[in-house]
């Protein structure tokens, strides 16, 4: 019998670590500090004992973990702190090995919620929707429900041969399940074009938001989205999702995972500094706050793009005319490019001080950061080498289609994809 505990878990992650970032101490401390709000540092000698299955995490660290166990930022923290230490091409293998350990652990019941992030039950391990969420969700289960004392025999069994055999076993079980379900699936999917048309008719009034369904499916396919259209799209088979996009002449977005999209926030903020649209000391806000957008998805923006920004006239602000953020940025770039003596205020600085973003509610800050991304992308050239390969869709969502912060966030990510990754 295999046993799920901290030692078996750590040994699997150690086997599939990123060779350029190696070290089990980095992996465990990244996991722990994704939960805790105050920095923790588990020393190497203790990690060696944890890896062997000789002890549990020390009490002073567990006190911090227990105090912050339900930290809502755990997933995003883990993405930033842990992801770099694992081999990104092996996340699926890690998930499969852990799944086999769980399946063979007869102390875990079939209806047990085995991970506390994507909420996968032991009985549903044949379908792992998000490998990384599954991996970090299991860590929380281990901390809450398992003991790591006297688990040396289970720890010593975890090696490369064990992992290879476990992956093969998992793949075989999924293949057998797929074969048994093939007739049922054939009946369900025999008329995919008709189902795609039905989906588009159902959401005809929101048709312009359909391209954002792809972003929802990349960012969080298992989430119960505010807009039911996003959740319904995520529940469709891959073939049906592709057919839905074909119905509206929208190309499929080619991104492996959500982390690729969020990495674009760094590229975006670096370029905004070069264009002098934001100061260097403010660029961190995009990677720190925009990723929190879904926590405020139920708040509807009152006015998505109000006309409260300075408008550049032929001379210095006559009559104090106003414009939208997008027009303000466009005017700023125009004057800057032409080298005209008159200059507008730096857009981000004007927005920051005049809207009082330094002491506003966090959801308002997140709203304006997403809007700033969209407005900048509207006025920037696409970073593509071949114009024929540009992401093109006959249906393109705009700010006029946005109803919630969720919509606004997905539109911002689509604009980043359109600007940086559509090659």
Phi, psi of 316 (to 5 degrees): -70, 100
Are 32 and 63 in contact by the 8 Å Cβ rule? The answer is: no
How far apart are alpha carbons 72 and 295 in whole angstroms?
9
The residue among 207, 204, 209, 201 whose CA lies nearest residue 403 is 209
3-state helix vs strand vs coil in the chain, percent to 5: 60, 0, 35
What tens-digit pLDDT sequence spans the chain (423 residues)?
Answer: 589 999 999 999 999 998 766 689 999 999 999 999 899 999 999 999 999 999 999 999 999 999 998 888 898 899 888 988 998 889 999 999 999 999 999 899 988 989 988 888 898 888 888 899 999 999 999 999 999 999 999 999 999 999 999 999 998 887 665 555 444 454 455 578 888 999 999 998 888 899 999 999 988 887 888 889 999 999 888 889 999 998 888 888 887 677 788 888 888 999 999 988 999 888 888 888 888 888 777 777 767 778 788 776 555 444 546 688 888 888 888 777 776 655 678 889 888 888 888 888 888 899 999 999 999 998 877 665 444 445 566 567 888 888 888 999 999 999 998 888 765
pTM, to two decimals: 0.58
Tokens 């674009």 correspond to 264
Q: Which tokens go with 160?
A: 């490369």
Residues 6+ positions from 41 with CB-CB distance below 8 Å:
29
CA angle 345, 350, 354 (to 5 degrees): 140
Phi, psi of 45 (to 5 degrees): -65, -35
């Amino acid at each position: 019998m295999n046993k799920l505990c901290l030692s078996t878990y750590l040994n699997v992650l150690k086997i599939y670590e990123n060779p350029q970032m190696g070290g089990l101490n980095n992996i465990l401390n990244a996991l722990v500090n994704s939960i805790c709000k105050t920095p923790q540092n588990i020393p190497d000698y203790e990690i060696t004992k944890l890896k062997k299955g000789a002890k549990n995490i020390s009490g002073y660290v567990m006190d911090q973990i227990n105090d912050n166990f339900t930290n809502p930022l755990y997933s995003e923290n883990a993405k930033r702190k842990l992801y770099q230490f694992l081999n990104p091409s092996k996340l699926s293998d890690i998930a499969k090995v852990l799944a086999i350990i769980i399946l063979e652990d007869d102390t875990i019941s079939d209806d047990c919620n085995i991970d506390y992030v994507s909420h996968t039950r032991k009985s549903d391990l044949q379908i792992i929707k998000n490998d990384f969420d599954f991996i970090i969700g299991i860590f929380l289960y281990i901390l809450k429900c398992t003991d790591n004392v006297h688990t040396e025999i289970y720890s010593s069994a975890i090696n490369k041969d064990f992992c290879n055999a476990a992956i093969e076993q998992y793949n075989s079980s999924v293949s057998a399940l797929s074969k048994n379900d093939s007739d049922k699936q054939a009946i369900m999917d025999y008329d995919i074009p008709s189902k795609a048309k039905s989906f588009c008719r159902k959401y005809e009034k929101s048709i312009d938001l359909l391209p954002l369904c792809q972003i929802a499916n990349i960012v969080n396919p298992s989430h119960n989205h505010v807009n039911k259209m996003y959740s319904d799209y995520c529940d469709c088979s891959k073939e049906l999702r592709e057919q839905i996009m074909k119905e509206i002449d929208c190309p499929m977005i080619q991104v492996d995972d959500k982390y690729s999209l969020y990495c674009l926030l760094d590229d975006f903020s670096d370029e905004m500094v070069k264009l002098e649209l934001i100061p260097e000391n403010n660029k961190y806000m995009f990677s720190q706050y925009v990723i929190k957008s879904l926590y405020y998805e139920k708040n509807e923006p009152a006015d998505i793009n109000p006309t409260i920004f300075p408008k550049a006239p032929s001379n210095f602000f006559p009559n104090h005319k106003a414009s939208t953020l997008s027009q303000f940025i466009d005017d700023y770039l125009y004057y800057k490019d032409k080298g005209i003596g008159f200059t507008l205020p730096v857009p981000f600085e004007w927005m920051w001080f005049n809207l009082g973003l330094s002491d506003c509610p966090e959801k308002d800050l997140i709203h304006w950061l997403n809007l700033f991304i969209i407005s900048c992308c509207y006025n920037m050239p696409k970073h593509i080498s071949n114009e024929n390969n540009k992401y093109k869709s006959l249906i393109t969502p705009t700010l006029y289609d946005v109803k919630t912060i969720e919509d606004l966030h997905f539109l911002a990510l689509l604009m980043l994809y359109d600007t940086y990754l559509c090659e």
